[in-house]
Chains A and B, each alone.
Chain A
Amino acid sequence: MHGLTDLLPTLLAQAANQAPSAPLPTGRITGGWGYVWFSYALTFLTLAGYGVSLWVRRPRPTKDV
């Protein structure tokens, strides 16, 4: 779970970076775990949701009109 434990220090570091004394980017991305978590969650939710929709729409042998 290093991602989660890194999140706060990274945010702090980013905040520190945005101070006027150190304005220019370093050329490397630090942090950004929020983007990663969101992406993975979105992917799993979409795929799971689609799977559920396929189950709900499954063909039934006796069909009510």
Chain B
Amino acid sequence: MPGMQTLARVLLAAGPADAEHIQPVTTGMIVKYAVTTVVGIALVWGVIRLFGWIEEKTRASFGVRAGLIGIGVILTAVGAYLGLFWAPPDRMMGDVQRIMYCHVPLLWNALIALCINFACSVLYLIKPSWKTDSLAEAAAETGVVMGANGVLLGAIWAKPTWGVWWTWDPRLIAAAIMLIAYAGYLALRRFIEDPDRRALWSSVVGILVAVDLPVVWFAVRWFRSIHQFQSSPSTVDPALRVPLRVMAFAFLFLLMGFLWQRYRIALAHRKDEVALPDALPTTARREVTP
């Protein structure tokens, strides 16, 4: 009886007192997510190799990155038009619901970036490389920028819907911890001057803070919260799904462009650091790089 199921889902989603929607963790899930993690790390490894290959072919062309950002900007413009003017308002939340088209894609992409940071942290410990270390740095920074933006939008959206800017709900706590943890990770990278030690210890910290990523995702299922849990295509009307998807891809392209450019910056930095021994005085450095 699909009708009954829909009804049950509406009631469960609307009724926070009912604990039935809190999903128990099963062995099957653990196996599934462990496999996903390994596959994900392999995928990031493949992507780094692919990046390297494209960079070699295009001679590290800035045009490729600019192109990715360009596609992202165009898609963002289309998505913003669809989200602001084309899509109907939500039946209950009205026009305020349009904030979702930015809030959700921002946080999806922030989580993607931070997962890349985790994969790079693991990869660095398996096989040290400045490329992996640079991508880890790039991913953490982009993830924090998009994540902070997404959390701010969540607060703005919460004011008219929930009635408060902020409340100590598990999802919100996990998201706040995520931002603070990765800001700390970036600060740590600045404090350690020796590139080898920095890469090593930031990898360790990168793995530790990544514990919070699944907690952010599952907080709404593991704990009681005021934050609604993940929507699925069946809980979002088609007209409202279109701008959400366009914006998700728009920000994904922006993320790719940002990540790549930030990676170039980090890699150039690393090469400078490694090429120039600290012992050399400033005058000697000038001679090395005219």
Contact = CB atoms under 8 A, between A and B. Distances in A.
**Do A and B belong to a common assembly?**
yes
Interface residues of B, number: 43
B101 to A, nearest CB: 9
Contacts, number: 90
A57 B290 CA distance: 20
Nearest to B89: A29
A17 B261 CA distance: 51
A62 B85 CA distance: 47
Contact of A3 (B95, B264, B290): B95
Contact of A46 (B145, B159, B289): B145
A63 B286 CA distance: 9
Contacts of A35: 96, 99, 156-157, 159-160
A26 B23 CA distance: 33
B84 A40 contact: yes
Q: Interface residues of A toward B: which range? A: 20 to 34
Contact of B102 (A3, A32, A39): A39
Interface string A27-65: 111111101101110111011001100100111001101
A36 B98 contact: yes
B149 A28 contact: no
B156 A39 contact: yes
A29 B92 contact: yes
B190 to A, nearest CB: 14
17 contacts: A3-B85, A28-B92, A28-B93, A29-B92, A29-B93, A33-B95, A39-B102, A40-B80, A42-B153, A46-B145, A54-B262, A58-B261, A58-B265, A59-B265, A59-B267, A65-B282, A65-B286
Interface of B: 62, 69, 76, 80, 84-85, 91-96, 98-99, 102-103, 106, 142, 145, 149, 152-153, 156-157, 159-161, 251, 254, 258, 261-262, 264-265, 267-269, 272, 282, 285-286, 289-290
Sorted from nearest, which 7 A-B pairs have the closest CB atoms?
A59-B268, A32-B96, A29-B94, A39-B99, A43-B102, A46-B149, A54-B261
